[in-house]
């Protein structure tokens, strides 16, 4: 007997009022305008997932001085690379690709194997450090502030997020412009604004990272259940945002 395919997560149907959507847009614009009024060199780390696309849409509207970059880890989905091209064309904004050094990746593979991150938390942290954390430091060198698309409702590790924080590791200001948006706010806003959406969101991926470390999730699962699914639930961070 053939088992039925699991029902995967889908982009949710939303029922957000026009007044709420207009308020979200005005709020995002105000927050981005405040950031660029205070800091000259601001950079935005985009994964090209829905949260970051909402922020990108605001940047294209009111804060084009903000520099966009993505961490090109060498293990991204082909769909993510294609999305970067699509976003640049749609918004006429340049997205810089920041990659790990070939030497450190070679050493990582020699130490743990190509897919050694499956063996445990230590190995996963080592991979994320080489492919994401170190390139992030490079991408933010000389910046006065940086932006993320993090939201409180994404994970238990993000429930204490604020609009403005201080990044101790890099000694610069850090902003989360949509930190207080709900899932419904996010998806209603992207639909209302006709924002380009990553194709993997249409294939059961509510959260998108590197290809070997991200899978589609079943309907009703936590939205970050597909990230590093072989590890404990409280291990759903790569080190970019650990305080």
Residue the block writes with tokens 């412009």: 177
Asked if 187 contacts 11 with a C-beta cutoff of 8 angstroms, the reply is yes
Q: Pick the catalytic residue: 128, 210, 213, 238?
A: 238
End-to-end CA distance of the chain: 50
Are 153 and 182 in contact, with CB atoms under 8 Å apart? yes
Cα–Cα nearest to 179, from 192, 165, 193:
165
Measure the CA–CA gap between 106 and 100, rounded to whole angstroms: 10
Cα 134 to Cα 170: distance, rounded to the nearest angstrom: 11
Catalytic site residue 128? Answer: no
Q: Which residues are catalytic?
A: 238
């Amino acid at each position: 007997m053939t088992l039925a395919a699991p029902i995967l997560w889908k982009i949710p149907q939303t029922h957000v009022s026009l007044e709420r959507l207009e308020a979200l847009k005005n709020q995002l614009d105000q927050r981005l305008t405040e950031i660029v009024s205070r800091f000259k060199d601001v950079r935005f780390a985009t994964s090209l997932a829905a949260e970051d696309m909402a922020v990108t849409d605001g940047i294209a509207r009111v804060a084009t001085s903000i520099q966009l970059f993505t961490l090109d880890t060498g293990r991204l989905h082909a769909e993510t690379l294609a999305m970067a091209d699509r976003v640049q064309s749609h918004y006429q904004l340049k997205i810089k690709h920041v990659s790990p050094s070939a030497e450190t990746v070679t050493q990582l593979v020699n130490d743990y194997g190509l897919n050694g991150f499956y063996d445990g938390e230590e190995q996963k942290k080592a991979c994320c450090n080489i492919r994401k954390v170190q390139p992030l430091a490079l991408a933010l060198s000389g910046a006065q502030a940086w932006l993320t698309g993090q939201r409180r409702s994404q994970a238990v590790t993000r429930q204490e997020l604020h609009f403005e924080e201080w990044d101790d590791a890099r000694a610069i200001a850090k902003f989360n412009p949509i930190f207080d948006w709900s899932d419904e706010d996010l998806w209603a806003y992207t639909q209302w604004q006709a924002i380009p959406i990553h194709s993997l969101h249409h294939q059961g991926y509510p959260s998108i990272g590197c290809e070997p470390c991200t899978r589609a999730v079943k309907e009703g699962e936590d939205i970050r259940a597909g990230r590093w699914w072989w590890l404990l639930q409280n291990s759903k961070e790569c080190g970019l945002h650990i305080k």
